[in-house]
Amino acid sequence: MEREYKLFEPIEMWHVAHLATFLSQLESSGARTATLRINSPGGSWMAGQLMRVSLLSSRLKVTTVNEGIVGSAATLVFAAGNIRQCQPHAKFMMHQVSSEPGHVQVKELKRAVAAQEALNRSTAEMYVVASNKTVEEWEQMMEAETWLSAEQAHTMEFCTEVLPAKPGHVAADASMAAADVHKYYMSLIPPTNEMKLDEVKNALAQAGVTLAADATDADVLAAITKLKNEAPKAGETVQPKTETEDPAITELKRQLQELKDSRQSDQQKQIEGVVNSAISSGKITAAQKDTYTSLLKADFTNTSKILGEMPARTSTAQRVNQAGGSGKATGADARNDWDFDKWSKEDEVGLRDMKRNNPEQYQNLLASSGLI
């Protein structure tokens, strides 16, 4: 299977399960290495942290590559690589973790500030592991919102290798906004035309070579080598086969193909049923349908479990009704229905505070969101 994971967009919570499935399948295939290509301005800090944990706990030797910009939460993912490469025109951006305090009292604001400082400290400590800088130096760079060139990142060992330069590939202008930098670097990344493992299997099947459903990369390479060795040499005459197949065998093959087609159809219906049910119940949005369909095809058991345990999102109308028609729900009542994704997007400081001061509630939140 493909050994590259491409993170070419802002980081969201769904990336956590997607990356975990990718790593799990790669480990099961017998692979020992993986590559993460990144061009992302950042996104959810919590999602980036959880992706970092997945990479650090993987048995694979992981190479992370900065293809353009690695900013904000994406730096946590990049820093988890055993080998950390970057294009010579690439940039890194580090800043303090941000959140919106909302309408809070002074005492709550003080707690939020303390939690924010702890979160920034924790981020700096993660950077220390992948560099030759101290916690204090990283905290200063984060406070100043620091942009690093490839060479600067290499000097401080945050990047372990700067790749050779490519003609026409230059760094983005220093005055560009982060979003424009991301788009600029996307234009430099060439589209990939490499065949996926399933496509190779199909090509081999057309040549008369059938592989097992759980065939590894090594099995595919062995089959290709065998096919090449059996191919006729130039100028060699190949005698056509004249023996006919037993009608009984032909009928068995036909029945087997019908069974396979039926199973594929049943599986597709089952996947569609799970996804449509999750959409109708408000657990995921229609825009996420293709993503979860792909995850179910790759790992039906675990993905369906995650969807089954995922709480339904509360609509605006429901919140209005729950608030007695006042048009808003505030305080703890409004947050009882928040899942992990909602907490990470709306109140990362509160999430951090919950983890430190109410670990039982935090564990229950992870469980209800299908993350443990």
Query: Of the ranges 41-45, 55-59, 252-256, 360-364, which is most confident?
Result: 55-59
Q: State mean pLDDT over 201-215.
A: 68
26 lies in the same domain as 165: yes
pLDDT tier at 195, thresholds 50, 70, 90: very low
Whether residue 364 contacts residue 134, with contact meaning beta carbons closer than 8 Å, is answered with no
pTM: 0.52
Distance (Å, rounded) from C-alpha 216 to C-alpha 287? Answer: 33
161 lies in the same domain as 25: yes
CATH of the domain at 138: 3.90.226.10
290 lies in the same domain as 359: no
> What is the pLDDT at residue 241?
46
Among 180, 203, 146, smallest CA distance to 68 is for: 180
302 lies in the same domain as 321: no
52 lies in the same domain as 174: yes
> What is the pLDDT at residue 220?
65
> What is the pLDDT at residue 193?
46
183 lies in the same domain as 278: no
The residue among 188, 204, 233 that closes a domain is: 188
The residue among 309, 328, 359 that closes a domain is: 309
171 lies in the same domain as 278: no
Q: Residue 339 domain-assigned?
A: yes
Q: H/E element holding 36?
A: strand 33-40
> What is the pLDDT at residue 197?
57
Checking if the pLDDT of 50 tops 80, the result is yes
> What is the pLDDT at residue 270?
84
293 lies in the same domain as 179: no
Q: State mean pLDDT over 231-252.
A: 56
Distance (Å, rounded) from C-alpha 93 to C-alpha 84? Answer: 15
Q: What is the mean pLDDT of the chain?
A: 77
pLDDT tier at 324, thresholds 50, 70, 90: very low
Among 148, 8, 166, smallest CA distance to 87 is for: 166
Q: Residue 58 domain-assigned?
A: yes
Q: Find all residues with CB under 8 Å of 275, minimum gap 6, and list them.
A: 284, 289, 292, 293, 296
pLDDT tier at 290, thresholds 50, 70, 90: confident
**Lowest-pLDDT range of 163-177, 251-265, 269-283, 357-371:** 251-265
Q: Residue 148 domain-assigned?
A: yes
Q: Residue 325 domain-assigned?
A: yes
Checking if the pLDDT of 305 tops 90, the result is no
> What is the pLDDT at residue 136?
94
pLDDT tier at 74, thresholds 50, 70, 90: very high
68 lies in the same domain as 145: yes
Q: Residue 262 domain-assigned?
A: no
How wide is the angle at C-alpha 84 spanned by C-alphas 188 and 80, nearest 5°?
A: 115
Q: Residue 287 domain-assigned?
A: yes
User: What does the block give as tokens for 308?
Assistant: 């089954």
184 lies in the same domain as 109: yes
> What is the pLDDT at residue 231?
52
Checking if the pLDDT of 313 tops 80, the result is no
Distance (Å, rounded) from C-alpha 127 to C-alpha 135? Answer: 8
Determine whether 249 is exposed, middle or buried from the number of CB atoms within 10 Å of its CB (0-12, 13-18, 19+): exposed
Checking if the pLDDT of 316 tops 80, the result is no
> What is the pLDDT at residue 127?
94
Q: Find all residues with CB under 8 Å of 40, minimum gap 6, and list them.
A: 7, 8, 9, 10, 11, 69, 70, 71, 74, 77, 182
Q: Residue 259 domain-assigned?
A: no
The residue among 188, 223, 246 that closes a domain is: 188
> What is the pLDDT at residue 323?
43
Tally of structural domains, the chain = 3
25 lies in the same domain as 174: yes
Q: Find all residues with CB under 8 Å of 97, minimum gap 6, and list them.
A: 45, 116, 119, 120, 123, 348
157 lies in the same domain as 277: no
Neighbours of 20 (CB within 10 A): 22
pLDDT tier at 214, thresholds 50, 70, 90: low
Q: Print the domain residue range for 10.
A: 4-188
Q: Find all residues with CB under 8 Å of 129, minimum gap 6, and list them.
A: 79
Q: Find all residues with CB under 8 Å of 199, minimum gap 6, and list them.
A: none
> What is the pLDDT at residue 320?
39
Determine whether 287 is exposed, middle or buried from the number of CB atoms within 10 Å of its CB (0-12, 13-18, 19+): exposed
Q: H/E element holding 84?
A: strand 83-86
* pLDDT digits 0-9 by tens, 106-123: 566 567 667 667 778 888
Q: State mean pLDDT over 22-33.
A: 91
> What is the pLDDT at residue 53?
92
Checking if the pLDDT of 282 tops 70, the result is yes
